[in-house]
Structure 1
């Protein structure tokens, strides 16, 4: 399956749907590639998808998010699927908490993210889902 990008249209729609200033969680469902697959021209040593995500994508994302109100990141392995298609397999679930949607957008809607951070996510992941969800009150 081809990874889908976060589009400008998706960011705009989410921004309209989520009240300004509302704290949010970004729920990530993650499936890793056995071997990271970088696009031609991107210079990176061979590694597994999990290594590309943990050792390249996450540190690059944290550097880009430094100084922004990213409250915390919670990431755990998926042990079993109880409901869903047998072909739908997830390796990990990550929950990132942000002060608001504008903070998330200010990170991912940049040329620096597209050039220096996203290539590691693309190389690492076979598939993923991303949902903006409300922080429980």
Structure 2
């Protein structure tokens, strides 16, 4: 199982589970590779996973998301794990708010995202978790 891929099946299931038109918060748990590992044929200079994510993935994602209602709420290093699976460690966590799930999907479910943006995330991350959250009432 690829632990950094956002699958069509996962997007379809989330779309069925999340009420349309409501804000959605995406919780990202990130574990970086020491050295970014790009697929053969993808032209990128060597760098760390953290650099690939912050200096390549995020700017490419922001360009693709330009004009869409996206608000970054929080991003920062994970300082300690108080509860979790033994050995499961995260370097950073981020929470992003989207106007609705359709906005998120309109960004990640495109050929441009798959070709120009996702390769940086795949190269950067050893492990990745992504959860869609609703605002507590």
Aligned to 2:58: 58
Contact 2:4/2:122 (CA < 8 Å) preserved in 1? no
Aligned to 1:42: 42
The reply to whether residue 78 of structure 1 matches residue 78 of structure 2 is yes
Distance 1:22 1:32, change over 3 A: same
Contact 1:3/1:122 (CA < 8 Å) preserved in 2? no
Give, in whole Å, the separation in 2 of the partners of 1:106 and 1:78.
29
TM-score normalised to the size of structure 2? 0.96
Contact 1:38/1:119 (CA < 8 Å) preserved in 2? yes
Contact 1:76/1:94 (CA < 8 Å) preserved in 2? yes
Aligned to 1:25: 25
TM-score normalised to the size of structure 1? 0.96
How many equivalent residue pairs?
A: 137
Give, in whole Å, the separation in 2 of the partners of 1:21 and 1:124.
32
Distance 1:4 1:124, change over 3 A: closer
Q: Which runs of 5+ in 2 are unaligned?
A: none
Give, in whole Å, the separation in 2 of the partners of 1:136 and 1:24.
11
Q: After the TM superposition, which parts of structure 1 deviate over 6 Å for at least 4 consecutive aligned residues? A: none
CA shift for structure 1 position 84: 1.5
Q: Which runs of 5+ in 1 are unaligned?
A: none
Give, in whole Å, the separation in 1 of the partners of 2:85 and 2:131.
19
Contact 1:77/1:91 (CA < 8 Å) preserved in 2? yes
